[in-house]
Amino acid sequence: MPVSSAAGANAVPVAEYTLATILLSAGDVLRSARDFTRTHDMIAARPRGGVGAFGITVGVVGASRIGRRVIELLQPFDIRCVVFDPSLDAASASALGAEFVSLPELLTRSQVVTIHAPALPETFRMIGRDELALMADGATLINTARGSLVDTDALVAELATDRLRAVLDVTDPEPLPPGHPLFSLPGATLTPHIAGSIGNELRRLGHHVVAEVERFVRTGDLADEVTSPDLARIA
């Protein structure tokens, strides 16, 4: 029996969440808002240092459906995009609108790093202590993929120094236990796994399902069929 996936439809809101988060992170908006709420001091809560999206480098880890959509959404902005994915080469990355680099180079060069890789044995804690240490002071890590891709303890240690920032829609463990350090660290912004399809976005999934059924009845084919080789590289 053929199987279809709506992952492409679900990629749209995740990529849009990511784009919004990249722009807010580049402007130091999230930290500034937290500090303003806490201190009520407009001057003390203003963004620090060099902020803004102009000329920054965004690193996309994983050229998945979501990763590719993020790269596409970044095109109208004055933002350089670099990408790491073992399945890519320089030519294919360039066709997407990004520069292909190694993971260490991506982490070193990027002011914002966003993760869009699947949860596989090969990607378990792919962002650990050594990888986080490569990120520049003030850089932001965004994770909308799976919490297991990031070493939580290592991330907590970095955030505790106020050197990095993180926006996490997923965590490991998930949910976090009450009182976990990520809830209170000033550089952490947590959302409750809401980047994917919720609310109005569920209608897009419904439209996709109807379109796939109609296509299959009409042609016997599926636009987004899942095949056996896909199983080794999808989340």
Q: What positions carry a catalytic annotation?
A: 146, 174, 193
Q: Is 225 helix (H, G, I), strand (E, B) or coil?
A: strand
Q: Burial-class residue 22 by CB neighbours within 10 Å (0-12, 13-18, 19+).
A: buried
Token pair of 202 as six digits: 């569920």
Whether cis (ω within 30° of 0) applies to the bond prior to 173 is yes
Closest-CA residue to 8 (of 69, 53, 61) = 69
Q: If DSSP codes are grouped into helix, strand and coil, which group holds residue 200?
A: helix
Q: Peptide bond before 104: cis, by omega within 30 degrees of 0? A: no
| Sequence-distant (≥ 6) Cβ neighbours of residue 65 within 8 angstroms | 7, 8, 11
**88 HSE (CA, 13 A, CB side):** 26
Beta-ladder partners of 141: 113, 166
Contact 186, 162 (CB under 8 A): yes
Provide the residue count of the chain: 235
Paired tokens of 141: 């890590």
